[in-house]
A and B are shown apart, each in its own frame.
Chain A
Amino acid sequence: MILLTMIARVADGLPLAASMQEDEQSGRDLQHYQSQAKQLCRKLNAQSPNRCTLEAGVMSFHYVIEHGVCYLALCEAVFPKKLVFGYLEVLQTEFNEQHGKKVPTVSRPYSFIEFDVYIQKTKKNYIDSRARRNLGSINTELQDVQRIMVANIEEVLQRGEALSALDTKASDLSSLSKKYRSDAKYLNTRSIYAKIAAGAVFFITLIVYMRFWWI
């Protein structure tokens, strides 16, 4: 079951089109996944792998990046991967044909929301188990699906945070070590002064002693 489909521009994460199926029977709240999908689109960049599956508990995100546009789908983890990527490929071809040239110029979110109509129709084909049989050809074409990278959504979303945490820790460390260094210096100086003072006291006592007892 494909629950959510989103098409976004990779450069700035601007959503271009989306289709959301609120599923009454399951009563699942998609709001959480919806915001994860938005975050994900913002995190993606030119360096991201072109095809990837991200696990998010009982659900999985699958995405394809082509021509600077990300096609993202959310479905249950048990839903066949081949089908999802076949579905995303079809969307990609059609979207690129219809709107590909306009993608870099738009600034309004969901500028191509009307593409939703096509998404819904395609989705119906892929979800419907009777129609699925007709898609056998697609299954064979997508042999390489097995090699698609799998990662965890939390990791991807938090990768940036972990780096920044590391950064903070490192800077904490360096400031702490600086403090340690200055503290050590200070202590050294103090101990030298203490030694000098002790020596001076000893000599003075010695001189006094010599003076009164030797003379």
Chain B
Amino acid sequence: MSNTDFSSQNGAGGPPYANGPSQNPVALQPPGPGYMAHQTPYNPMQAKGPMPPGPGLYNSGPYQPIPPVSSNQALPGQPMLKRPPMGPQHSMTPPQSASPNPGSRIPPAHATPPPVSANNYQHAPAWQYGGTPPMGAPPSMGAPPPMAMPPLRPVGNHMTSSPSLATPQASSAEYRATPPVFHNAMQPLGPPTSLQGYTQQGSAPLLMNPMAAPHSYQPVMRAPYGGPPPSVRPTPPTTGPPMGNASPPLGPKTDAGPLPPQQPGPPTRHMGLSYPSLPPGYQNTSAPPNAATMQHPVQPSTQPYSHPPPYQQLSAGPAQLSPSLSGLSLQSQTPEALRVVNLLQERNLLPLGPVTPPTPCLPQDLQKINCHPEVFRSTLTSIPQTQSLLNKAKLPLGLLLHPFKDLSQLPVVTSSTIVRCRSCRTYINPFVTFLDQRRWKCNLCYRVNDVPEEFMYNPVSRSYGEPHKRPEVQNATLEFIAPSEYMLRPPQPAVYLIVLDVSHNAVETGYLDVVCQSLLENINALPGDSRTKIGFITFDSTIHFYNLQEGLSQPQMLIVSDIEDIFLPTPDSLLVNLNECKELVQDLLRSLPQMFGKTMETQCALGPALQAAFKLLSATGGRVSVFQTQLPSLGVGALKSREDPNQRASAKDIQHLSPATDFYKKLALDCSGQQVAVDLFLLSSQYCDLASLGCISRYSAGSVYYYPSYHQQHNPAGVECFQKDLKRYLTRKIGFEAVMRIRCSKGLSIHTFHGNFFVRSTDLLSLPNVNPDAGFAVQMSIEENLVDMQSVSFQAALLYTSSKGERRIRVHTMCLPVVNSLSDIFAGADVQAITCLLASMAVDRSVTASLSDARDAMTNASIDSLTSFRTSVLTIQQPGLLAPACLRLFPLYILALLKQKAFRTGTSTRLDDRVFAMCQLKYQPLAYVMLMIHPALYRVDDLTDEGALNVSERTIPQPRVQQLSVEKLSRDGAFLMDAGSVIYLWIGRNCNPNFLTQVLGLPNYAAVPLNMNMLPELDTAESQRTRAFVGWLREQRPFFPILHVIRDESPLKASFLQNMIEDRTESALSYYEFLLHIQQQVSK
């Protein structure tokens, strides 16, 4: 029973309650009188409780086990309090405190007075849970129950004589927190009623019935969350009045609604009087107080039951719990994430929909405001306490960021002072702790800072004295308008420079038409204001500048043929104001494609052109877009072909992954210093040495686009793709002269960065431009043990100048629990993030060491982590390859990486293709990288509206994701493979003729053309569904995936089949063989 109850609690779900509740209900009914009696029943529960709590937690959510921990985390304050010893007492105290607390929630601010006992007590318990892992609550477990009981009785008394109760507790606890004052306040309110009221408030009106449920809830809630009132809130509603107790503590928020009669008074008081300082938002910081309050309320009304259990759990202490949990989990109550999966037997591992990231085991209120996983993600959602623990788990620890992602909703704060920690410069965030109204404690370095006077005023609610309700403390992602201290110079205007290759080879591909056309169409959509500047440079064996000065009748071309010592032919007018010279710019764009139509110049001086671009932009900074179609052959930076096509498939190891010259890197660093970013568009049919050219973008924070075999006539699909990408590129948001800094809690350190940027000082990323499609990754190590912490936080702050000349700071903060058992670490592993981080690390490895090294490292990563899981977490040794459910896709993803273009061997892969894939692995945000690694396969000939999504009045069918194996393809079907930058639609030989006619508009299979890239717009339900689905897939990414319709004879069939990762190829293992290989290594 107990276990179940707990689990339910953790889960917070209603159903689970049943177990607990059922018993409770009975008990509850008697509530007033029979607390004692109830208590006795409870005690058993409690006794069991200790064990169950852990498991229960797990049960509820995969991660739930963590919750207790998380609560701790939530309460940064805890460390300060150092409550650990308190633990046992806490359990006792809560009841007592309960009565007083309701009134006294205020105390948090007061903190000092011991007498407050009730409040204090509660706080203390909360702390214990959260912060006191070391406590080793177990002893408390036993004791607490009895303790709890007594308090309950007192509860009645509390109303009248709360002080008495308080005193004993006070003595025991170091509860300084509760001020005597509270009691007074409370009492006047009408102690008994008030208590109930509180509880009710929290739980709300409906809860009455739930009596039973409440019990369970409260315990659960509290236990897991420890400090955070918010979590509690949810529970209260379910529970009846008793429950209410629990809920009331939650705080102001809960109070507001539910309490029918008496409660209103008390809650309001809380709100106004005591709590002001501790608003929900702050709870994190002030968790202790909240917890105390929470408990208090509960106690009064009730339901000792509920309280005791939570306490017990709590008392167990995080540390103890986790081990016990881990043990338990294996036995019966394994959380979903730790469910053991035998990979050799379970074939069907893919989830029905997309793979969702694990949820950190934080209290609900914290988790609710935590940073969105698409923006900020950690490979381990539970951070290990020590480096040795991390080493044991053999999983990489790192963060993946998408800091400048387009967001539909972003709070923007304008304030003359931005509140930051005085020692570590962390921006104030939802996970700081408010010690009282005027002081807050940094959640990264734990320094106590003053709250500035302006921060006391809340512009949203227009109220004073509620710093915790400010948007800065309510949002994990927000943007500040920076005051002038954040500017070294006036914000720069948006400056765009287009650098075009116009040699014979370039003109031959016909790309100039597309670029000029695209610019003409989007010239008004370029981000910028009235200051926006634009300029053009073209180059072949010489460099051509264009004077676009206002007043000229037509653009003037200036040719510089001295490419050894490049200079600017005229000091101004090469970069002109776009608004004032739009006519001339349009003139130039219209005539440019024809100007070089008959050129016979085959040489190309890219290096000097880049130097000229740098000179032109160095005064202001800005963006250079370089379009290049062949290997640079003249001047500085000239390159020679390094690829031997005959060696592509046979070479033992891949050579030439590192740059041939450091010219491009050096120039990129110069650019970075002058706030110039270079974006490279490579349109080529031959080898262009992307490994060398790519450096220009990599170190200047630009982006790289690569269109192999681009040709206007021969490759219409490539042209369309280029057009769409260009449109997005020209119109997407852009930030100039940006820097980004990632901070993390004391004890953690960031040591390696992945992405396109230059690391200026140890942790400052210099980003001359930042765009919404750029992702970053960092690796971390644990330098100091995180023993006293329940949670750690990470903060990424991006300072940039918007295209409108505003200096802004975008801040993302993420909070994660700290755990001390291997099983918890495994339960929190995020397999997608791990895969992406490993991919980035492998790219570095293949450049610095060799490709085969990188491949071995990836294979070993999966072997090591599964070995560690088998030896350290599993207690029962079973045959087979065992993996926790959360890592069940890990070997599959690793195999997919090994077969990815970037890392595959034995298959003919062009060097540029390979290098480009590597760039993308490092630079793309996680969601797109995952599709590149492991494409999604859908069967689309039988799409139905069942389970379809509705997005803005369109119905989008949601077919199931299939395994990437030829055995899943059937000849009578049609399959869609989404590989990120390309989509394949494979038509089976015996495909349903209905699909052919209704969707493709073709009479039969033989009529399917060999290169078909469009779905005809037919007025049939099937066609609409298919197009809606493909359109929806395309909308979800910033680039444009080409659609290839293929059949057996299509030349692209080979690349389609190469994505069938689970199948064997002549040079690579099948998934099953790979698993056998891993198993062999694991069981060694």
A residues contacting B by CB (< 8 A) are: 6, 14-15, 17-22, 24, 31, 34, 38, 107-110, 113-114, 116-117
Flag whether B619 is at the interface (Cβ < 8 A).
yes
Determine if B416 and A107 form an interchain contact, defined as CB atoms under 8 angstroms apart.
Answer: yes
> Which of A14, A34, A109, A113 contacts B531, CB < 8 Å?
A113
User: Please, which residues of chain B bring their CB within 8 A of the CB of A22?
Assistant: 618-620
Determine if A116 and B481 form an interchain contact, defined as CB atoms under 8 angstroms apart.
Answer: no
Determine if A117 and B531 form an interchain contact, defined as CB atoms under 8 angstroms apart.
Answer: yes
Q: In the complex the two chains form, what is the Cα distance from A109 to B483 in whole Å?
A: 6
User: Please, which residues of chain A bring their CB within 8 A of the CB of B805?
Assistant: 110, 113-114
Determine if A24 and B806 form an interchain contact, defined as CB atoms under 8 angstroms apart.
Answer: no
Flag whether B1048 is at the interface (Cβ < 8 A).
no
Determine if B414 and A114 form an interchain contact, defined as CB atoms under 8 angstroms apart.
Answer: no
Determine if A109 and B807 form an interchain contact, defined as CB atoms under 8 angstroms apart.
Answer: yes
B residues contacting A by CB (< 8 A) are: 414, 416, 481-484, 487-491, 493, 529-531, 577, 580, 615, 618-620, 805-807
12 residue pairs A–B, Cβ–Cβ below 8 Å: A15-B484, A15-B490, A20-B489, A22-B619, A31-B489, A107-B416, A108-B414, A109-B487, A110-B484, A110-B491, A110-B806, A113-B491
Q: In the complex the two chains form, what is the Cα distance from A113 to B802 in whole Å?
A: 12
Of all chain B residues, the one with the shortest Cβ separation from A21 is B619
> Which of A15, A38, A109, A114 contacts B530, CB < 8 Å?
A114
User: Please, which residues of chain A bring their CB within 8 A of the CB of B416?
Assistant: 107
A44 to chain B, nearest CB (A): 15
Q: In the complex the two chains form, what is the Cα distance from A21 to B571 in whole Å?
A: 12
Determine if B481 and A110 form an interchain contact, defined as CB atoms under 8 angstroms apart.
Answer: no
A55 to chain B, nearest CB (A): 23
User: Knowing that A22-B620, A24-B618, A110-B484 are A-B contacts, what are 8 other residue pairs whose CB atoms are under 8 Å apart, sorted by A's residue number?
Assistant: A6-B490, A21-B619, A31-B488, A108-B481, A109-B483, A109-B807, A110-B490, A117-B577
Determine if B488 and A117 form an interchain contact, defined as CB atoms under 8 angstroms apart.
Answer: no
> Which of B493, B531, B615, B806 contacts A108, CB < 8 Å?
B806
Q: In the complex the two chains form, what is the Cα distance from A114 to B806 in whole Å?
A: 11
B495 to chain A, nearest CB (A): 13
Determine if B414 and A116 form an interchain contact, defined as CB atoms under 8 angstroms apart.
Answer: no
Do A114 and B529 form a contact, CB below 8 Å, given A22-B619, A108-B806, A109-B807? yes
User: Please, which residues of chain A bring their CB within 8 A of the CB of B580?
Assistant: 117
B210 to chain A, nearest CB (A): 50
User: Please, which residues of chain B bring their CB within 8 A of the CB of A15?
Assistant: 484, 490
Determine if A116 and B619 form an interchain contact, defined as CB atoms under 8 angstroms apart.
Answer: no
Of all chain B residues, the one with the shortest Cβ separation from A31 is B488
User: Please, which residues of chain B bring their CB within 8 A of the CB of A108?
Assistant: 414, 481, 806
User: Please, which residues of chain B bring their CB within 8 A of the CB of A24?
Assistant: 615, 618-619
> Which of A14, A20, A21, A116 contacts B484, CB < 8 Å?
A14
Determine if B531 and A116 form an interchain contact, defined as CB atoms under 8 angstroms apart.
Answer: yes
User: Please, which residues of chain A bring their CB within 8 A of the CB of B577?
Assistant: 117
Determine if B490 and A113 form an interchain contact, defined as CB atoms under 8 angstroms apart.
Answer: yes
Q: In the complex the two chains form, what is the Cα distance from A155 to B805 in whole Å?
A: 33
Determine if B529 and A109 form an interchain contact, defined as CB atoms under 8 angstroms apart.
Answer: no
User: Please, which residues of chain A bring their CB within 8 A of the CB of B531?
Assistant: 113-114, 116-117
Q: In the complex the two chains form, what is the Cα distance from A15 to B493 in whole Å?
A: 16
User: Please, which residues of chain B bring their CB within 8 A of the CB of A38?
Assistant: 484
Determine if A107 and B414 form an interchain contact, defined as CB atoms under 8 angstroms apart.
Answer: yes
Q: In the complex the two chains form, what is the Cα distance from A116 to B580 in whole Å?
A: 14
B560 to chain A, nearest CB (A): 16
User: Please, which residues of chain B bring their CB within 8 A of the CB of A17?
Assistant: 490
Determine if A116 and B487 form an interchain contact, defined as CB atoms under 8 angstroms apart.
Answer: no
Determine if A117 and B807 form an interchain contact, defined as CB atoms under 8 angstroms apart.
Answer: no
Of all chain A residues, the one with the shortest Cβ separation from B621 is A22
User: Please, which residues of chain B bring their CB within 8 A of the CB of A116?
Assistant: 490, 493, 531
Q: In the complex the two chains form, what is the Cα distance from A113 to B484 in whole Å?
A: 13
Q: In the complex the two chains form, what is the Cα distance from A17 to B490 in whole Å?
A: 8
User: Please, which residues of chain A bring their CB within 8 A of the CB of B806?
Assistant: 108, 110
B283 to chain A, nearest CB (A): 31
Do A18 and B619 form a contact, CB below 8 Å, given A38-B484, A113-B531, A116-B531? no
Q: In the complex the two chains form, what is the Cα distance from A15 to B805 in whole Å?
A: 13
User: Please, which residues of chain B bring their CB within 8 A of the CB of A19?
Assistant: 490
Query: Which 5 A-B pairs rank lowest in CB-CB distance, beginning with the nearest?
Result: A18-B490, A109-B484, A113-B805, A22-B619, A114-B530
User: Please, which residues of chain A bring their CB within 8 A of the CB of B530?
Assistant: 114, 117
User: Please, which residues of chain B bring their CB within 8 A of the CB of A110?
Assistant: 484, 487, 490-491, 805-807
Q: In the complex the two chains form, what is the Cα distance from A6 to B489 in whole Å?
A: 11
**Counting chain B CB atoms within 10 Å of each CB, which of A6, A24, A107, A110 scores highest?**
A110
Q: In the complex the two chains form, what is the Cα distance from A108 to B488 in whole Å?
A: 16
User: Please, which residues of chain B bring their CB within 8 A of the CB of A21?
Assistant: 619
Determine if B490 and A20 form an interchain contact, defined as CB atoms under 8 angstroms apart.
Answer: yes
Of all chain B residues, the one with the shortest Cβ separation from A15 is B484
**Counting chain B CB atoms within 10 Å of each CB, which of A17, A19, A20 scores highest?**
A20
User: Please, which residues of chain B bring their CB within 8 A of the CB of A31?
Assistant: 488-489
User: Please, which residues of chain A bring their CB within 8 A of the CB of B482?
Assistant: 109
Of all chain B residues, the one with the shortest Cβ separation from A38 is B484
Of all chain B residues, the one with the shortest Cβ separation from A114 is B530
Q: In the complex the two chains form, what is the Cα distance from A18 to B484 in whole Å?
A: 12
B459 to chain A, nearest CB (A): 12
B542 to chain A, nearest CB (A): 22
Q: In the complex the two chains form, what is the Cα distance from A6 to B487 in whole Å?
A: 14
Q: In the complex the two chains form, what is the Cα distance from A34 to B490 in whole Å?
A: 9
User: Please, which residues of chain B bring their CB within 8 A of the CB of A113?
Assistant: 490-491, 529, 531, 805
A134 to chain B, nearest CB (A): 16
**Counting chain B CB atoms within 10 Å of each CB, which of A15, A24, A108 scores highest?**
A108
User: Please, which residues of chain A bring their CB within 8 A of the CB of B489?
Assistant: 20, 31, 34
User: Please, which residues of chain B bring their CB within 8 A of the CB of A20?
Assistant: 489-490
User: Please, which residues of chain A bring their CB within 8 A of the CB of B487?
Assistant: 109-110
User: Please, which residues of chain B bring their CB within 8 A of the CB of A6?
Assistant: 490
Of all chain A residues, the one with the shortest Cβ separation from B620 is A22
User: Please, which residues of chain A bring their CB within 8 A of the CB of B807?
Assistant: 109-110
User: Please, which residues of chain A bring their CB within 8 A of the CB of B488?
Assistant: 31, 34
B940 to chain A, nearest CB (A): 50
B146 to chain A, nearest CB (A): 60
B414 to chain A, nearest CB (A): 6
Q: In the complex the two chains form, what is the Cα distance from A34 to B489 in whole Å?
A: 7
Of all chain B residues, the one with the shortest Cβ separation from A35 is B488
B357 to chain A, nearest CB (A): 36
Of all chain A residues, the one with the shortest Cβ separation from B530 is A114
Q: In the complex the two chains form, what is the Cα distance from A208 to B491 in whole Å?
A: 97
User: Please, which residues of chain A bring their CB within 8 A of the CB of B414?
Assistant: 107-108
Of all chain B residues, the one with the shortest Cβ separation from A12 is B416
Of all chain B residues, the one with the shortest Cβ separation from A108 is B481
Q: In the complex the two chains form, what is the Cα distance from A21 to B487 in whole Å?
A: 16
Of all chain A residues, the one with the shortest Cβ separation from B415 is A107
Of all chain A residues, the one with the shortest Cβ separation from B529 is A114
B115 to chain A, nearest CB (A): 45
Of all chain A residues, the one with the shortest Cβ separation from B807 is A109
Q: In the complex the two chains form, what is the Cα distance from A26 to B84 in whole Å?
A: 66
Of all chain B residues, the one with the shortest Cβ separation from A22 is B619
B613 to chain A, nearest CB (A): 14
Q: In the complex the two chains form, what is the Cα distance from A17 to B806 in whole Å?
A: 12
Q: In the complex the two chains form, what is the Cα distance from A48 to B615 in whole Å?
A: 41
Q: In the complex the two chains form, what is the Cα distance from A109 to B807 in whole Å?
A: 8
B597 to chain A, nearest CB (A): 35
User: Please, which residues of chain A bring their CB within 8 A of the CB of B490?
Assistant: 6, 15, 17-20, 110, 113, 116
Q: In the complex the two chains form, what is the Cα distance from A34 to B484 in whole Å?
A: 12
A205 to chain B, nearest CB (A): 67
A164 to chain B, nearest CB (A): 22
User: Please, which residues of chain A bring their CB within 8 A of the CB of B493?
Assistant: 116
B768 to chain A, nearest CB (A): 15
User: Please, which residues of chain A bring their CB within 8 A of the CB of B483?
Assistant: 109
Q: In the complex the two chains form, what is the Cα distance from A18 to B487 in whole Å?
A: 12
B259 to chain A, nearest CB (A): 42
User: Please, which residues of chain A bring their CB within 8 A of the CB of B529?
Assistant: 113-114
A129 to chain B, nearest CB (A): 15
Of all chain B residues, the one with the shortest Cβ separation from A118 is B530
B281 to chain A, nearest CB (A): 24
Q: In the complex the two chains form, what is the Cα distance from A22 to B577 in whole Å?
A: 17
A197 to chain B, nearest CB (A): 56
